[in-house]
C-alpha cells in the first residue's frame, strides 16, 4: 500500500519541491499552504507522516502539532518539522509538543526521503501510564498523565505491552477499536506484580473477548506462580469478575533465566533491586535497543544504609549496580525509574525507587542515547516533572555527553527511526 505524506508549507517553491521529490519516490502526497487546511486534510485521511513548517500564516506549526496530537486519528502520526529557525529553544519546544524530528532549512531532499522512510518503517513507543505507586489523575497532572505504568512498543505491525497498570485500560479500548472485530494475539511483559503494575489488568477489554489470545510473561514470585498472583487481585473480595471468567485464551511464561523471543522482539530480562522479584527488560527490535527498567534502587546507596552494613558495602553495591548498567548498555532508549528528586530520595531510601540524578548517572555510564524519565511520583505535579527534566538537562550539559532526555508523557509517542544501514551520498536541492 502506498503511504501518504502530508506536506504543510506556505512557501510554494519548497512545497512544490517536496511534493515532487516524495511523489517521485512513490509516495502519495497531500499538500496544504496553511495549518488549518493541513489539519482538515489530516483528519479526513490520516497520513503516514506529516512534514510541516513552523512559521505559517493562519494556524502556525506549533498549533498544528497540538491539534494533530489532540485528534485520535493523528495522535501518534510522526511529525517532522522543517524550519529555518535555528534556535535551540524552538527545536526543544517542537519536540516537547510532540514533533518526532526537527530538520533545519535549507535541507537536503535525500535526507528528507531517508527520514520519511525511516518513520514509515519505524518503531513507536507509546506511554499509556507513566505514574509510579498510585494513579494520580487531576488537572495538576494532566500534561504528563496520572495512570500507573503501561508502555507499548510497536514495530512492523507487532505490539509488545510492558506492564498492566491503569494505563492498560485505555490501551485495551484502542486495540479493540483498531481490531474492528478481528481476533487479537497480544504479548504482555509484567515487570513485577506490585499493584501499580497489574491493577489495570482486570479492565483490559481484549482479555474478555473469546478468540483473543494473551501471552503474559513475567517473574515467578517467591511463593506463587505469576498466574496465581494475577488471579489473586481478582478474588471475589476485591473484584466482581474472576480471572477464569476472562474469555480470551491466556498463557503464562515465567522467567527462568533465558531470554524470550516474542514476535520480532528479543527480550532479555534482568533482575532489578526492588522489594520482591522485579524484572527489567532489554528489548531488541529492528536494529534498535530499548531498556525498560523501572522500580529499582541503586545498591550503592542502599547497602551502606542497611543495619548490617559493612565498610565495603558501598564498593560492593557499585559492583552489583553493574547488572543494571549492562541491561542498559548502548540502549537507544532507556526508560528509567526517576520517581524522586535526590532530596526526596534521602527520606525514601529503601522504598525500592530512585531519583532522576541516579537515572542520569546510569544512562551516562551505560552510554544510552535517550533517557526517558518514568514512574513519576504521584506527589509530583506537571511543574515538578518539568523541574526534574530541566535539572537532568543541566546535569547532562555539565557532563558534556550526547544524551537526550525527556519525561514520559501519556499519549505523546516516541517514534524511533529504523537505523539506516549506510548513508547515501548527499545531494543538494
Ligand atoms: Zn514496585
Residue 99 shares a structural domain with residue 71 = yes
**CA nearest to 89, candidates 52, 126, 116, 62:** 62
296: CA distance to ligand 1 center in Å?
8
**Residue spans of alpha helices (H) in 312-381:** 313-328, 342-347, 356-366
Asked if residue 228 belongs to a domain, the reply is yes
Residue 279 shares a structural domain with residue 167 = yes
- How many other β-carbons are positioned within 10 Å of the β-carbon of residue 120? 15
192: CA distance to ligand 1 center in Å?
7
Residue 144 shares a structural domain with residue 293 = yes
Burial of 233 (0-12, 13-18, 19+ CB in 10 A): middle
Quote the pLDDT of residue 428. 39
Task: State yes or no: cis peptide before 390, omega within 30 of 0.
Answer: no
- Residue-level pLDDT, tens digit, the chain, 429 residues: 467 899 999 999 999 999 999 998 888 999 999 999 999 999 988 898 999 999 998 899 999 999 999 888 788 889 999 998 888 888 888 998 889 899 999 999 988 988 888 787 678 899 999 999 999 999 999 999 999 999 999 987 789 999 999 999 999 998 988 787 889 999 999 999 999 999 999 999 999 999 999 999 999 888 889 998 988 888 888 888 877 788 999 999 999 999 999 999 999 999 999 999 999 999 999 899 999 999 999 999 889 888 888 888 889 989 999 999 999 999 999 999 999 999 999 999 999 999 999 999 999 999 999 999 999 999 999 999 999 999 999 999 999 999 999 999 998 888 887 775 544 443 333
Residue 143 shares a structural domain with residue 221 = yes
Which phi and psi (to 5°) does residue 7 adopt?
-110, 120
Residue 214 forms beta bridges with which residues? 186, 250
Asked if residue 421 belongs to a domain, the reply is no
Residue 30 shares a structural domain with residue 176 = no
**Ion ligand 1: residues, Cβ under 5 Å:** 194, 295
* CB-CB contact of 327 with 270 (8 Å): yes
State how far the Cα of 424 lies from the Cα of 429, in Å rounded to an integer. Answer: 15
280: CA distance to ligand 1 center in Å?
11
Residue whose entry in the numeric block shows the C-alpha cell 543494571: 324
H or E element, residue 337: strand 333-337
User: Computed from CA positions of residues 57, 58, 62, 67, in that sequence, does the dihedral angle turn out positive or negative?
Assistant: negative
249: CA distance to ligand 1 center in Å?
27
Question: Residues with Cβ < 8 Å from 187, sequence gap 6 or more?
Answer: 159, 160, 161, 214, 215, 217, 262, 263, 265
Question: Residues with Cβ < 8 Å from 50, sequence gap 6 or more?
Answer: 5, 6, 8, 38, 42, 68, 74, 77, 78, 79, 80
* Three-state DSSP state, 411: coil
Residue 155 shares a structural domain with residue 115 = no
State how far the Cα of 242 lies from the Cα of 238, in Å rounded to an integer. Answer: 10
271: CA distance to ligand 1 center in Å?
12
309: CA distance to ligand 1 center in Å?
24
* CB-CB contact of 254 with 226 (8 Å): yes
Asked if residue 141 belongs to a domain, the reply is yes
109: CA distance to ligand 1 center in Å?
47
Transcribe 91-150 into DSSP letters. Answer: HHHHHHTT-SEEEESS--HHHHHHHHHHHHT-EEEEEEE-BSSS---SGGGTTT--PPPE
Asked if residue 132 belongs to a domain, the reply is yes
Residue 116 shares a structural domain with residue 128 = no
Asked if residue 423 belongs to a domain, the reply is no
Grid cell for residue 169? 485500560
Which structural domain, as residue segments, surrounds residue 66? 4-120
Quote the pLDDT of residue 424. 40
351: CA distance to ligand 1 center in Å?
9
163: CA distance to ligand 1 center in Å?
11
Residue 228 shares a structural domain with residue 337 = yes
191: CA distance to ligand 1 center in Å?
9
State how far the Cα of 296 lies from the Cα of 322, in Å rounded to an integer. Answer: 13
Residue 103 shares a structural domain with residue 138 = no
Task: Point out the domain boundary residue: 120, 137, 152.
Answer: 120
Quote the pLDDT of residue 427. 38
Residue 65 shares a structural domain with residue 209 = no
Asked if residue 425 belongs to a domain, the reply is no
* CB-CB contact of 216 with 243 (8 Å): no
Task: Point out the domain boundary residue: 56, 89, 120.
Answer: 120
Total domains in the fold of the chain:
2
pTM for the structure as a whole: 0.78
Task: Point out the domain boundary residue: 120, 143, 165.
Answer: 120
State how far the Cα of 299 lies from the Cα of 308, in Å rounded to an integer. Answer: 14
Asked if residue 279 belongs to a domain, the reply is yes
- How many other β-carbons are positioned within 10 Å of the β-carbon of residue 383? 9
CATH of the domain at 14: 3.40.50.2300
**CA nearest to 101, candidates 82, 124, 84, 77:** 82
Grid cell for residue 175? 486495540
**CA nearest to 406, candidates 151, 92, 185:** 92
Quote the pLDDT of residue 121. 67
194: CA distance to ligand 1 center in Å?
5
Residue whose entry in the numeric block shows the C-alpha cell 479500548: 173
* CB-CB contact of 231 with 243 (8 Å): yes
Residue 72 forms beta bridges with which residues? none
Residue 229 shares a structural domain with residue 304 = yes
CATH of the domain at 262: 3.60.15.10
Asked if residue 292 belongs to a domain, the reply is yes
Cα→Cα distances 13→10, 26, 59, 107, 310, Å: 9, 20, 20, 13, 70
Burial of 57 (0-12, 13-18, 19+ CB in 10 A): exposed
Quote the pLDDT of residue 374. 98
Residue 299 shares a structural domain with residue 411 = yes
418: CA distance to ligand 1 center in Å?
32
Amino acid at each position: 500500500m502506498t503511504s501518504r505524506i502530508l506536506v504543510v508549507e506556505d512557501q510554494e517553491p519548497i512545497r512544490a519541491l517536496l511534493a515532487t521529490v516524495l511523489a517521485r519516490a512513490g509516495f502519495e502526497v497531500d499538500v496544504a499552504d496553511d495549518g488549518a487546511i493541513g489539519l482538515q486534510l489530516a483528519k479526513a485521511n490520516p497520513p503516514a507522516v506529516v512534514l510541516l513548517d513552523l512559521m505559517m500564516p493562519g494556524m502556525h506549526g506549533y498549533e498544528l502539532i497540538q491539534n494533530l496530537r489532540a485528534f485520535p486519528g493523528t495522535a501518534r502520526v510522526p511529525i517532522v518539522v522543517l524550519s529555518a529557525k535555528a534556535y535551540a529553544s524552538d527545536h526543544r519546544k517542537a519536540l516537547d509538543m510532540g514533533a518526532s524530528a526537527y530538520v533545519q532549512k535549507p535541507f537536503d531532499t535525500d535526507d528528507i526521503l531517508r527520514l520519511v522512510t525511516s518513520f514509515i518503517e519505524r518503531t513507536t513507543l507509546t506511554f499509556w501510564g507513566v505514574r509510579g505507586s498510585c494513579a494520580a489523575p487531576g488537572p495538576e497532572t494532566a500534561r504528563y498523565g496520572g495512570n500507573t505504568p503501561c508502555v507499548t512498543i510497536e514495530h512492523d505491525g507487532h505490539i509488545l505491552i510492558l506492564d498492566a497498570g491503569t494505563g492498560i485500560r485505555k490501551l485495551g479500548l484502542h486495540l479493540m477499536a483498531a481490531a474492528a472485530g478481528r481476533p487479537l494475539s497480544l504479548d504482555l511483559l509484567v515487570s513485577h506484580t506490585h499493584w501499580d503494575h497489574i491493577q489495570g489488568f482486570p479492565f483490559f477489554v481484549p482479555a474478555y473477548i473469546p478468540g483473543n489470545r494473551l501471552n503474559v510473561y513475567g517473574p515467578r514470585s517467591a511463593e506463587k506462580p505469576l498466574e496465581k498472583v494475577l488471579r489473586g487481585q481478582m478474588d471475589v473480595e476485591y473484584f466482581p469478575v474472576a480471572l477464569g471468567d476472562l474469555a480470551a485464551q491466556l498463557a503464562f511464561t515465567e522467567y527462568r533465566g533465558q531470554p524470550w523471543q516474542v514476535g520480532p522482539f528479543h527480550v532479555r530480562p534482568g533482575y532489578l533491586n526492588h522489594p520482591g522479584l522485579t524484572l527489567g527488560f532489554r528489548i531488541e527490535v529492528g536494529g534498535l535497543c530499548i531498556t525498560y527498567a523501572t522500580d529499582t534502587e541503586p545498591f550503592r546507596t542502599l547497602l551502606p544504609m542497611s543495619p548490617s552494613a559493612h565498610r565495603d558495602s558501598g564498593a560492593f553495591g557499585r559492583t552489583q549496580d553493574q547488572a543494571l548498567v549492562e541491561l542498559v548498555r548502548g540502549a537507544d532508549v532507556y526508560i528509567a525509574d526517576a520517581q524522586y528528586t535526590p532530596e526526596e530520595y534521602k527520606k525514601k531510601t529503601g522504598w525500592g525507587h530512585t531519583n532522576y540524578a541516579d537515572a542520569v548517572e546510569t544512562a551516562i555510564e551505560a552510554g544510552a542515547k535517550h533517557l526517558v524519565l518514568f514512574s513519576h511520583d504521584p506527589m509530583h505535579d506537571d511543574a515538578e516533572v518539568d523541574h526534574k527534566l530541566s535539572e537532568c538537562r543541566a546535569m547532562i550539559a555539565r557532563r558534556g555527553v550526547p544524551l537526550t532526555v525527556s519525561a514520559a508523557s501519556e499519549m505523546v509517542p516516541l517514534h524511533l527511526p529504523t537505523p539506516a544501514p549506510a548513508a547515501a551520498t548527499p545531494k543538494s536541492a
